[in-house]
């Protein structure tokens, strides 16, 4: 649960939202009490995020929650006509799990398109090696989450699939031409540019800006994210504490804001680092405030009804695949 120091810090700094990790998760009752406590600390219904993709990236796990298959499983379902339906259903079930414990933002779906020889940090988190199939299944997942009252976050814009390194530990450089990036990496993001929220990639795209990763690159934001992709939703950084980034935490946050990010994300819970980020964090204003309101507006509805009995066979297929 929250310490007195954390409560006081959150009350003073007023973050837009919070993100939970496996270290924060025990069981349903504990998570609900935590989400309620976080919102009480800031005195409002703040957004609460989690990474719940399925497969190896699933913070809420058995025995208290179902295991879900990785994205790649949906792309390999034998009947192509069933792939999107099963992906949407899986996301709708996840949304139910999240909503009942007070979580309303899921950092999914992954829209990255992997290539042969890339680092496996994405791997089976990607739906397919084909960008059109990634776009189709990514939309199914995003729409399933929204139907369940959970905001999706498309990631990692404008693409992490070619990265030869894990940005948790190193800064990846991608040497592909802009034409190649346009044809493959950017394509799923263009198709889902109507989605309300996105997360950046800590990846250097040398054909666009060899000086720094997308998260801190004004060129990538202007030319690609807001330009070629045409994305006008709320953009959040990937975790500022990942080792792909350098400099102080204040410098990292300021560089992300200067590039065009609306929100900066810090994940490891280290108080000194959080304080450094909070010291330079910008209050939401102007276009960023508009985007944040529009994003949360997409889930300002009662969840779509879920008839588990009617869907029992399909649900069993999904969970059996995960097992």
Among residues 27, 45, 168, 301, which one is catalytic? 168
Residue 238 bears catalytic tag: yes
Report angle CA 119, 123, 125 to the nearest 5 degrees.
Answer: 135
Sort strands 154-157 and 105-106 into parallel, antiparallel or unpaired.
unpaired
Report angle CA 154, 248, 35 to the nearest 5 degrees.
Answer: 45
Q: How far apart are CA 283 and CA 297, in angstroms?
A: 19
Q: How far apart are CA 105 and CA 48, in angstroms?
A: 6
3-state secondary structure of 300: coil
Q: How far apart are the first and last CA of the chain?
A: 31
Among residues 238, 239, 262, 266, which one is catalytic? 238
Number of Cβ within 10 Å of residue 302's Cβ equals: 6
With beta carbons less than 8 A apart as the criterion, state whether 82 and 100 touch. no
Residue 168 bears catalytic tag: yes
Q: Mind telling me the catalytic residues?
A: 168, 238
């Amino acid at each position: 649960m929250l310490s007195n120091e954390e409560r006081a810090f959150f009350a003073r700094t007023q973050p837009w939202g919070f993100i939970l990790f496996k270290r924060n998760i025990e069981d349903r009752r504990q998570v609900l009490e935590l989400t309620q406590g976080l919102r009480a600390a800031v005195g409002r219904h703040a957004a609460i995020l989690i990474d719940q993709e399925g497969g190896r990236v699933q913070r809420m796990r058995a025995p208290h929650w179902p295991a879900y298959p990785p994205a790649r499983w949906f792309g390999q379902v034998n009947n192509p006509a069933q792939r999107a339906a099963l992906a949407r259903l899986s996301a709708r079930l996840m949304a139910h799990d999240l909503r009942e414990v007070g979580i309303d933002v899921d950092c999914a779906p992954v829209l990255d398109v992997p290539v042969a020889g890339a680092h496996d940090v994405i791997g089976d988190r990607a739906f397919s090696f084909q960008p059109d199939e990634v776009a189709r299944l990514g939309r199914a997942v995003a729409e399933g989450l929204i139907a369940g009252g959970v905001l999706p976050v498309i990631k990692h814009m404008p693409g992490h699939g070619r990265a030869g390194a894990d940005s948790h530990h190193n800064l990846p450089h991608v040497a592909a031409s802009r034409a190649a990036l346009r044809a493959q990496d950017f394509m799923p993001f263009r198709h889902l540019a109507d989605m309300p929220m996105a997360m950046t990639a800590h990846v250097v795209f040398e054909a666009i800006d060899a000086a720094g990763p997308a998260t801190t690159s004004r060129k990538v934001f202007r030319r690609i994210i807001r330009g070629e992709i045409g994305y006008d939703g709320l953009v959040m950084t990937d975790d500022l504490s990942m080792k792909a980034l350098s400099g102080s935490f204040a410098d990292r946050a300021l560089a992300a804001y200067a590039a065009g990010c609306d929100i900066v994300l810090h994940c490891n819970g280290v108080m000194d680092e959080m304080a450094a980020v909070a010291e330079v964090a910008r209050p939401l204003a102007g276009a960023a405030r508009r985007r944040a309101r529009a994003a949360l507006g997409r889930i300002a509805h009662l969840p779509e009804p879920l008839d588990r009995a009617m869907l029992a066979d399909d649900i069993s297929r999904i969970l059996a695949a995960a097992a």
